[in-house]
Structure 1
Amino acid sequence: MKRFTIVAGARPNFMKIAPLIHQIQEKQREGEPFSFRLIHTGQHYDKNLSETFFEELNIPKPDANLQVGGGTQAEQTAGIMIGFEKELAEHPTDLVIVVGDVTSTMACSIVAKKANVKVAHIEAGIRSFDLTMPEEINRMVTDSITDYFFTTSEFANENLRKAGIEGHRIFFVGNIMIDSLVKNLERIEKASFFNDLQLDVRKYLVLTMHRPANVDNKENLQNYLDNITAFAKDFTVVFPIHPRTKPIVDAIGKAYPNLAIVEPQPYLKFIHLLKNASGVVTDSGGITEEATYLHIPCITLRENTERPETCTLGSNVLVGNDVDALKENIEKISNKNWKKVQVPELWDGATAKRIVEILSDLPL
């Protein structure tokens, strides 16, 4: 019997673990000697950012919720490590599977390795080379102690090889988040506010912002909102607001006629919103992947990206805090003059199947 412990902690994790769990369950039905425990660290504790995903994505409720909640980076990391150490002591496993680059990914990897448990990292090897990003620290630390690396691109493979990782531990399997997107496209749901705001297909922009560098400074956030709403004057700008962003927007206290602030959206409703938009302005790495697959123009409010394939092949353009570039690219969306988009290799909806086939053969 191969025993897996699968860790999820934040919104993007759930879309990545869902296809993996479905494939493991399929193998179990075929008689494969697999068992798994699903651990929710509780890093995202807003209901719309966590709980609804289990129902929407048809995955079992967690076997344990560490309920770490909010706090500083250090407080969250410490809380996750303490809780996960107890989990592993009480429920031994052969392999801890972590996904993405959130605090939970790093914290649980460290605990596992100190307990002499092997670690597999799904979405390994991606790098922004920007050490001001907490996620970059999480990626680097996780990959420095990981045993098995499942990657989304040749860019990620090369980063790992440069770090001295042997080729037989690197598995190029594609993008598992696209698996969830492909599987659920026929199930997407229109949000209740869609009709209330009189939104028309391809007549609005989606805006998401949550990175500390963009939203923690009140003046900086206001400048973004001032410019985006001004340049997108021909659009309604729909802003599903992240819990960390809302208090700062409230403090700005400014009304924008074409800005519609809505609650964080469950997965199926957010994908409906994104799929039918003219474009998206974001600082989320995951949304650049979804937009690329959907061929939706994407403007990213960052100077760098750990997913360069979304720029070289996909629908993404980096503008950082360059106001002229922001204006130019919103005008391109308005004029329907976006670049040609290609979907990267192995972003095909079959990544989880490839991963589980590899897990079947690993010597655990």
Structure 2
Amino acid sequence: MKTVMTILGARPQFIKAAAVSRALAGVSGLTERIVHTGQHYDENMSDVFFDEMDIPRPTHHLGVGGSSHGAMTGEQLRRIEAILMEERPDWVLVYGDTNSTLAGALAAAKLHIPVAHVEAGLRSFNRRMPEEINRILTDHLSALLFAPSPGAQRQLEREGIAGHHVHVCGDVMADVALHYRKLARRPAWFDTLDVDTSEFMLCTLHRAENTDCPERLHSIFLGLSASGRPIVLPLHPRTRKSMAQQRVRPAPNVRVVDPVGYLEMVWLEMNCLAVVTDSGGVQKEAYFHGKPCVTLREETEWTELVEAGANTLVGADPARIARSLIHPPAMRASAGLYGDGRASQLIARQLELA
């Protein structure tokens, strides 16, 4: 029996784990143990996902979050290393590009425990983003690399990472979207917002490059306001804090609500007119639910979405934001960008065989 130690810490990782953990449980030769670093500390940003999405409860909960990148990553590294030294799993499985991802990969690699990386090969080519550093380092530390697309595989090859340990498996987010569409939950508070379904824009805003820069944060809200569109904004704790510090007051057309659970988020994505976001995961969720996406960044690691016309990059420019919301881009048919919804099963199978 092989033991897979999964490292989770942030909302997108919980969502991806919902699909992969289910696939791992279906393989008789594998058992999974979960370390929750606590990188997301708000209940609606973490714990609720284990309940809603039927993810196995964590074996270890570290409670390490809310500090600087260096302090957070260092403390996570120290705590994960102690767990790995005690339990000695056969594999460490990490997702995406968070500090938890890098800490888990570093701890495992230094102890000569092989690392498997889900979402390998993604690049925004902006090394000012902490996530970009985390992606690059994790890929170069990993023994199994699961690329979501042929483009991601080609990027790994350009960096000298090639061979039988790289697998194009598709995107586990496609698996999740297919599974949870039927379970989507209309938020109880939605009717109090006085907006029509299919006419509102769904916005998420949390990246430090936007929230920690007063000029960008004010510019984004100017663009949202100038669009005149009804916008529903589930507010990330970091963004709420930055808005208070920078005295950003949303216009009346921006309806601010508390963070939502995953099933409520799925309903909002399925029923909105378009999505405006700076989240990597939400860009893909918009695509899987057939909604055009306006991205509040200058670049994206999901380049296929831009090339397919499903995603428009507008940065923090108020005029571009407003224009893209007033006239959302039309979705073009581009099926199969990220596999056929069986990525999780392929990942579990490769871990069984490795």
Return the TM-score normalized by structure 2.
0.96
Unpaired runs of at least 5, structure 1: none
Alignment of 1:280-299 (within 5 A): 280-299=275-294
Q: How does 1:194-343 map to 2 (within 5 A)?
A: 194-231=190-227, 233=228, 235-251=229-245, 252-313=247-308, 315-333=310-328, 338-343=330-335
Matched-pair contact (CA < 8 Å) for 2:220–2:321: no
Is residue 170–residue 343 contact of structure 2 (8 Å, CA) maintained in 1? yes
Whether 2:339 is the aligned partner of 1:347: answer yes
Contact 1:11 1:50 in 2 (8 A): yes
Contact 1:292 1:314 in 2 (8 A): no
The one-letter code sitting in structure 1 at the alignment partner of 2:138 is T
Q: Which residue of 1 aligns with 2:15?
A: 15
Contact 1:183-1:349 within 8 A present in 2 as well:
no
2:54 matches 1:62: no
Q: Which runs of 4+ in 1 moved over 3 A?
A: 343-347
Amino acid of the residue matched to residue 279 of structure 1?
A: A
The secondary structure found in structure 2 opposite 1:113 is: helix
- Give the counterpart letter for 1:300 in structure 2: T
Is 1:41–2:33 an aligned residue pair?
A: no
Q: 1:323 to 1:256 in 2, by over 3 A?
A: closer
Q: CA deviation at 1:83?
A: 0.7
Q: CA deviation at 1:216?
A: 1.0
Number of aligned residue pairs: give it. 353
What are the superposed Cα offsets for residues 66-123 of structure 1, whole Å, 9 maximum, x if unpaired? 1112100011001101110111111111110101100010111011011010000000
Deviation at 1:25, TM superposition (A): 1.1
316-325 or 159-168, which deviates more: 316-325
- Give me the TM-score of the superposition, normalised by structure 1: 0.94
Measure, in 2, the Cα distance between the counterparts of 1:346 and 1:285.
14
Which ranges of structure 2 fall in alignment gaps of 5 or more residues?
Answer: none
CA-atom RMSD in angstroms: 1.4
- Indicate how the Cα distance of structure 1 residues 220 and 325 shifts in structure 2: closer, same or farther if over 3 A, else same: closer
Identity, % of aligned pairs? 35
For 1:114, the equivalent position in structure 2 comes to 110
Task: State the Cα distance separating 1:255 from its structure 2 match.
Answer: 4.8
Amino acid at match of 2:242: I
Cα shift at 1:156: 0.6
Quick check: 150-159 or 242-251, which moved more?
A: 242-251
